[in-house]
Structure 1
């Protein structure tokens, strides 16, 4: 077969170009530190690397989201700590106000300090995060969630939802609490509260409300203790009404008389008037709704007014007893919500650890796909260099060959 000189030149040039291309490719790999510089180098590895890159970017977004969630929860936990301190101070003041040795001026002084606690709680309830969003307004965070209406009563205008944030692919976490859940709710274990009718004209006071039998058929319902003159017109009788009618009745003797009904018991002292009543209901029910601000408003109002008559003293005593029980429930609720925020902070630490491990796995997978083995690459670089040099020398030797040199 006859091979022309042109064919020899073309094949030598193609071989030299191929060797040079391979040599430059390895040089690019060493310079970039990647074995897949262009998708054409390894299409399958390049495609997988794109997917891993996307997964790493998503994981990084979740990491940033957890930073934001941690800041919100840390601020929530800090504010709730201040709220619990304020409620504890209010309880201390109510215990102090319960002393029979205090004068009206002393109680008014306590009322003034309670007003300070009240205003502090309003400020804490309207706290904001670092972005100016209200912590306790739910998704309605464009305005303070708690405000005073024209009557000076604090109302809630946020929503009942806790603001949530996606902190991982399979976890959407509440990062702030609803104001209702903190200031207008009670813990699930909250028990009964007694409250005297504000229209009472006698001086009956209550104390010692406790649960005696939670298995009673009527336990959990709401009750009303009413006082009426007996048939003879001398003395009084009491009647306890429940949702299905009368539960208990009997002669009222006063002076620490204990009555039992619906699985609970109540101690009564003093002299009632015809039609006086005391309601007993579960905390947080429709009959005894939970509201920390209304509790403080009620006790501030009763402490500001002089208590000269027996009826006024009884109203003072009953309001203090009711308010102290409500503050106990409010404190338990705040501590429960605070514990929940702390638990979520701990959960974020766990999710962070999982996210870090996931990122390490992604980085290792990406490295296996595209990163260069320098020892192998340098060996190949040397081999390609030798091949290129041999190809160049062969071309030089070949082009100098001519039949005319021998003629």
Structure 2
């Protein structure tokens, strides 16, 4: 059987071969120009899918990085603000300690009260510090207005408690819980709180010159605090003065404790609450019926209320020496607790900044891995691509020459 190949068939074959080689050469040129092996999904569907997943992961990593930078900026602002607050509270403490100078007149104490007022204003300004993005550093979960409002009843937090979070796969805060920092200090010595009571005979303020210290925990296992709601015992130290004899009785929830009834008072010795692991010191000369209170410490100590109490007391020109010492002693105790609360919050922000360094490293590593995966999936090996392009170019030139030879093999060309 004889197979005959027509001239038309040879033409078609040559043209198809030429077109195929031209397409291959064009593809090689596009790859060299873009530097990518996969320019459209049809080039390599599997590799294109891998590259797309890697691209999405890179985009998420970049979004996480932006959120991290926003969070870091706000945390740094918060840490700096708390540093300023610590310095201002330390200045307030020094002013309050100096107000206890026994040689000071009422006018000089009022001068210290004025100094405390100015420090209070500065602290309020720090508490309402803006973050530069339309919000406030201590705005909690968000506030369009300054979160702390000063009114007749004192400074109130008008924001929303808690912290606003950045949109990120990591836990990143965009603000600080101002309520916890400025209004939630631990009162007293952190376990229990002491203070003057009222004279049991007159119902008015104590009339003696005695004052009470914040106290100490002598036996932690016996301390009745923290207690369940409503069950925290309260203790009262009541003095009885008859001539040169001064005694005291400790009452638990209004009932005298047998082991602490009619005890001789000596201001050089601390007073133990029997069976409860607490001791306090009372200095000065109490009057008959004067009382002092011991109760559970609370976590509602406000920076501004603490200063207001000290300011109000120091502006009273009728305070005796014991009341001045009580004002100074209680005020210093409160400020110390507030400084500790602010420093704890500042330390927490410092730890957050350290944690952010680790988060940044993880984000960078994840992004680099994604970039590597995308490059592996779609990028071009330039040495191989150039060699392939040259080969295809040579093939295309050969196809052109072959076509030219086929064109000459027709009857008319032969006759001529």
TM-score normalised over the length of structure 2: 0.88
Pick which of 258-267 and 63-72 moved more. Answer: 258-267
Instruction: Give 3-state SS (helix, strand or coil) of 2:356's partner.
Output: helix
How far apart, in 2, do the equivalents of 1:166 and 1:400 lie? Answer: 72
Distance 1:348 1:76, change over 3 A: same
How far apart, in 1, do the equivalents of 2:349 and 2:389 lie? Answer: 58
- Give the equivalent residue in structure 2 for 1:350: 358
- 1:194 Cα offset (Å): 1.3
CA-to-aligned-CA distance 1:4-38 (integer Å, 9 cap, x gap): 21111111100100000001100110011111122
How far apart, in 1, do the equivalents of 2:15 and 2:121 lie? Answer: 90
Matched, 1:218 2:232: no
How far apart, in 2, do the equivalents of 1:105 and 1:200 lie? Answer: 23
Contact 1:145-1:157 at 8 Å conserved across structures: yes
- 1:278 Cα offset (Å): 2.0
How far apart, in 1, do the equivalents of 2:50 and 2:255 lie? Answer: 70
Contact 1:111-1:300 at 8 Å conserved across structures: yes
How far apart, in 1, do the equivalents of 2:378 and 2:294 lie? Answer: 73
Q: What root-mean-square deviation, in Å, do the aligned CA atoms of Structure 1 and Structure 2 show?
A: 2.6
1:263 to 265, 274, 277: 277
How far apart, in 2, do the equivalents of 1:206 and 1:99 lie? Answer: 17
Distance 1:31 1:208, change over 3 A: closer
Structure 1 segments unaligned to the other structure (5+ residues): none
Contact 1:194-1:209 at 8 Å conserved across structures: yes
How far apart, in 2, do the equivalents of 1:372 and 1:388 lie? Answer: 22
- Give the equivalent residue in structure 2 for 1:324: 332
CA-to-aligned-CA distance 1:310-360 (integer Å, 9 cap, x gap): xx4322221221111111111011111001111111111111112112111
How far apart, in 2, do the equivalents of 1:178 and 1:15 lie? Answer: 74
- Give the equivalent residue in structure 2 for 1:394: 402
Aligned pairs for 1:26-175 (under 5 A) are 26-151=28-153, 153-167=154-168, 169=169, 171-175=170-174
Contact 1:30-1:374 at 8 Å conserved across structures: yes
Instruction: Give 3-state SS (helix, strand or coil) of 1:165's partner.
Output: coil
How far apart, in 2, do the equivalents of 1:239 and 1:319 lie? Answer: 23
- Give the equivalent residue in structure 2 for 1:278: 292
- 1:365 Cα offset (Å): 0.9
Instruction: Give 3-state SS (helix, strand or coil) of 1:281's partner.
Output: strand
Instruction: Give 3-state SS (helix, strand or coil) of 1:280's partner.
Output: strand
Structure 2 segments unaligned to the other structure (5+ residues): 199-203, 227-231
- 1:300 Cα offset (Å): 0.5
CA-to-aligned-CA distance 1:227-251 (integer Å, 9 cap, x gap): 254899x755322315998485222
Distance 1:205 1:132, change over 3 A: same
Distance 1:172 1:86, change over 3 A: same
Distance 1:148 1:208, change over 3 A: closer
CA-to-aligned-CA distance 1:146-197 (integer Å, 9 cap, x gap): 112234x112222221222244x2x213332212211122369934331113
- 1:101 Cα offset (Å): 1.4
How far apart, in 1, do the equivalents of 2:28 and 2:254 lie? Answer: 88
How far apart, in 2, do the equivalents of 1:250 and 1:295 lie? Answer: 34
- Give the equivalent residue in structure 2 for 1:176: 175
Runs of 4+ residues deviating >6 angstroms: none
Distance 1:271 1:149, change over 3 A: same
Contact 2:136-2:175 at 8 Å conserved across structures: no
Distance 1:296 1:217, change over 3 A: closer
How far apart, in 2, do the equivalents of 1:140 and 1:278 lie? Answer: 42
- Give the equivalent residue in structure 2 for 1:301: 312
Contact 1:226-1:278 at 8 Å conserved across structures: yes
Instruction: Give 3-state SS (helix, strand or coil) of 1:92's partner.
Output: helix
